[in-house]
Structure 1
Amino acid sequence: VNIEGLPEIYVRGQGGLMDVVLHPNYKENGWLYISYSSSDENGSGGNTTIMRAKLKNNQLVEKQVLYKANPNSTRGQHFGSRIVFDRDGYLYFTIGDRGDRDVNPQDITRDCGKVYRLNDDGTIPNDNPFVDVVNAKKAIFSYGHRNPQGMTLHPKTGEIWTHEHGPKGGDEINIINMGKNYGWPVISYGVNYSGTKFTDITHKEGMEQPLHYWDPSIAPSGMAFINSNKYGDWNGNLLVGSLKFQYLDRCVIKDKKVVKEERLLDGVGRVRSVEQGPDGYIYVGVENVGIVKLLRQ
């Protein structure tokens, strides 16, 4: 099916159309949400944008831009971006640091390198952590992120879990808490791609530690918990796609630690997205392959 009426998308490097999510009450209200890169507003280049729209006769209608990160940048990396609704109906989305690690992630007056929270209509929740901070971006929920390309809701606790790309080493899984600083680039378990260091520390007071990190990097993308009876004792496991090594990583979580990992669909291709369908089965989006249904042997 070809969907018409998409917004103009700024395609550069890692930018493009990045996520599509249905409102939790989609059957009643018809809203769907997309994250994409747009060249609208400030300066040349583009940045990550969140829009909601409705689908009528395979065409997007009633399009509303809810958030646009500024300023634009001509850099081609680290747009994010994933969208998740929590149990209370709040809309969360991620935007990467846009390749400007020393400026954006630690500055709450700037977009990029953040997890954001909005009401479903794009307004700012009254209890967002920085609503009373002068010049802060009021939509920010947490900061100090590099490039989160995985986000999901824990089916039992309702917590927001993310993963993000590190540089060379230091890909992370994090549980996102309101107002917290996740450290990038002040603390990291990775190094520059050249092998040189950009920081000497992995811990600092006031900065969150990851629940798990990968070294070497797996280049994570896509993320979902198994929450069904289709996979036996895998129920409750976390699934993370690997772009770099082209497999699905099954993570066994105990006491908020990854205690075991297993490669599934090894060699399937660059895994971009992981979702559990209404039927309880896991569906994996793979670049240049399509959608793969996960079956347990």
Structure 2
Amino acid sequence: MTRFLSLILSLALAGPALAQNVGEKPATRDWPFSLRPVAELQNPWAIAALPDGSVLVTGKAGRMWHVTQSGARELTGLPSVQYRGQNGLLDVAVAPDFATTREVYLTYVSRGNALVLARGRLEGDRIAGLKTLWQQTPGGRGQPGGIIAFGPDGMLYLSVGDRMQPDTAQDPDNPRGKILRLTRDGKPAPGNPHYDKGGVRAQTWSEGHRNPYGLAFTPDGNLWEHEMGPRGGDELNLIEPGKNYGWNEVSNGRHYSGLPIPDHDTRPEFEPPKLWWTPVIAPSGLAVYEGRDFPQWQGDMLIGGLAGSGLALIAGDGSDQLARWDLEMRVRDVAVGPQGQVWIIEDADDGALYRLVPK
């Protein structure tokens, strides 16, 4: 019996470490920064930092502003969007070579309820030559995802939510619940796990996601994603090609009805999160810190919280939540500027853009 117990113990110790629930770690009002209001904006959704230190901010109702030291100027040339519930004008990202191309990438939910990826150019106070690069077929309901990240490989990564139709996240021929890897023209990227199969499978980098509102690369080249769980179980995931992250077969949360969902540790074929939150923080926005304003955060991740009403600092290797600050506002997005400026936006009809200033 003693030998049997020793064997069981050794196998347990040799197995993979279980993900850590950091949702029970309390938030603090002791901030290492102050919040400087920069601009009042209607229902802002996403931030993109420009090389000159200014920022672009989308508004979910279909508006966009270029915020500089002289104020916020509203831009024209934007698409018509479905502004309802979680849908509207979503993410904005600038091309890695923006300084020469002036290219701006947008995601939005169209009037036909499809998630759309589009590209235009910032010319003065307008987005010129807006062109659709990729469009979701079929569309869906809420939970669109729509986050854009450019990889060190030059490819464009796009998160697509399950659109409140959870079973489709496990359908390899449906883009819902996937992270796509595309060329900058919106085509399937060579080297994708199922590139030769065509269709959605050729575009897919990973699958089994619920409501992914954060996507970013750390300096070591790793791609990180976070997504909102159902009733508990918000996740931080290290994204690897071809992996399935389990939704809706597994989750560390429960159905809204209260019925259980099997935990990740019951299904080893699915990739578990590195960290998870119960109670939830409703993560929204993900940025990797590099710069001079907060040198102690170098290489770490910043995550906004809607239900969490603040900002979380996550170790760059995803091993722990280093801090969480209660800002008494729903933080929709966070971005880091070229010199290390940190920007956040408040999720509200009468929202605002803030800069974090070191104390």
* Structure 2 length-normalised TM: 0.75
Q: CA deviation at 1:230?
A: 1.8
Partners of 1:35 and 1:49 within 8 A in 2: yes
The answer to whether residue 95 in structure 2 is matched with residue 23 in structure 1 is: yes
Q: Take 1:242 and 1:235, find their aligned partners in 2: how far apart are those partners?
A: 21
Q: Take 1:72 and 1:185, find their aligned partners in 2: how far apart are those partners?
A: 19
1:174-197 CA-partner distances (Å, limit 9, x unpaired)? 111111111111111000123221
Q: Tell me the equivalent position of 1:144.
A: 208
- Pick which of 228-237 and 142-151 moved more: 228-237
Partners of 1:54 and 1:62 within 8 A in 2: yes
Q: Tell me the equivalent position of 2:30.
A: none
Partners of 2:215 and 2:225 within 8 A in 1: yes
Q: Take 1:175 and 1:52, find their aligned partners in 2: how far apart are those partners?
A: 27
Q: What is the DSSP-based 3-state SS (H/G/I as helix, E as strand, rest coil) of the residue aligned with 1:178?
A: coil
Which residue of 124, 127, 132 corresponds with 2:196?
132
Over the residues paired in the alignment, what is the CA RMSD in angstroms?
Answer: 1.7
Q: CA deviation at 1:71?
A: 1.0
Which residue of 116, 122, 125 corresponds with 2:186?
122
Q: Tell me the equivalent position of 1:191.
A: 254
Q: What is the DSSP-based 3-state SS (H/G/I as helix, E as strand, rest coil) of the residue aligned with 1:263?
A: strand
Q: CA deviation at 1:296?
A: 3.1
Partners of 1:23 and 1:30 within 8 A in 2: yes
1:185-225 CA-partner distances (Å, limit 9, x unpaired)? 11110001232213365442331111111111110001112
Q: What is the DSSP-based 3-state SS (H/G/I as helix, E as strand, rest coil) of the residue aligned with 1:132?
A: helix
Q: What is the DSSP-based 3-state SS (H/G/I as helix, E as strand, rest coil) of the residue aligned with 2:74?
A: coil
| Structure 1 pair 138–220 and aligned structure 2 pair: CA distance change class (3 A) | same
Q: Take 1:82 and 1:136, find their aligned partners in 2: how far apart are those partners?
A: 18
Which residue of 131, 144, 168 corresponds with 1:79?
144
Letter in 1 for 2:204: I
The answer to whether residue 76 in structure 2 is matched with residue 4 in structure 1 is: yes
RCO greater where, 1 or 2, for CA within 8 Å and sep 6 or more? 2
Matches within 5 A, 1:45-56: 46-56=113-123
Q: Take 1:12 and 1:251, find their aligned partners in 2: how far apart are those partners?
A: 32
Q: What is the DSSP-based 3-state SS (H/G/I as helix, E as strand, rest coil) of the residue aligned with 2:146?
A: coil
Letter in 2 for 1:163: H
Higher helix share goes to which structure? 2
Q: CA deviation at 1:263?
A: 2.2
Which residue of 208, 212, 224 corresponds with 2:287?
224
Q: Take 2:263 and 2:339, find their aligned partners in 1: how far apart are those partners?
A: 47
Q: Tell me the equivalent position of 2:124.
A: 57
Q: What is the DSSP-based 3-state SS (H/G/I as helix, E as strand, rest coil) of the residue aligned with 1:142?
A: strand
Q: Take 1:134 and 1:67, find their aligned partners in 2: how far apart are those partners?
A: 15
Partners of 1:144 and 1:185 within 8 A in 2: yes
Q: Tell me the equivalent position of 1:43.
A: none
Partners of 1:185 and 1:199 within 8 A in 2: no
Q: Take 1:82 and 1:72, find their aligned partners in 2: how far apart are those partners?
A: 16
Q: CA deviation at 1:172?
A: 0.4
Partners of 1:242 and 1:271 within 8 A in 2: yes
Q: Which of 1 and 2 has greater Rg?
A: 2
- Pick which of 206-215 and 281-290 moved more: 281-290
1:139-171 CA-partner distances (Å, limit 9, x unpaired)? 1111000010011110x2111111000011110
Structure 1: any 5+ residue segments left out of the alignment?
A: 41-45
Partners of 2:158 and 2:181 within 8 A in 1: yes
Q: Take 2:242 and 2:279, find their aligned partners in 1: how far apart are those partners?
A: 29
The answer to whether residue 319 in structure 2 is matched with residue 257 in structure 1 is: yes
* Structure 1 length-normalised TM: 0.90
- Pick which of 227-236 and 174-183 moved more: 227-236
Q: CA deviation at 1:278?
A: 1.4
Partners of 2:252 and 2:263 within 8 A in 1: no
Q: When the two structures are aligned, how many residues end up with a matched partner?
A: 285
Q: Take 1:200 and 1:236, find their aligned partners in 2: how far apart are those partners?
A: 30
Partners of 2:172 and 2:201 within 8 A in 1: yes
Q: Tell me the equivalent position of 2:340.
A: 280
Partners of 1:94 and 1:114 within 8 A in 2: yes
Q: CA deviation at 1:111?
A: 1.5
Letter in 1 for 2:149: V
Q: CA deviation at 1:136?
A: 4.2
Partners of 1:39 and 1:72 within 8 A in 2: no
Q: Take 1:232 and 1:89, find their aligned partners in 2: how far apart are those partners?
A: 27
Q: Tell me the equivalent position of 1:111.
A: 175
Q: CA deviation at 1:126?
A: 2.0
Which residue of 283, 290, 296 corresponds with 2:352?
290
Q: CA deviation at 1:234?
A: 2.4
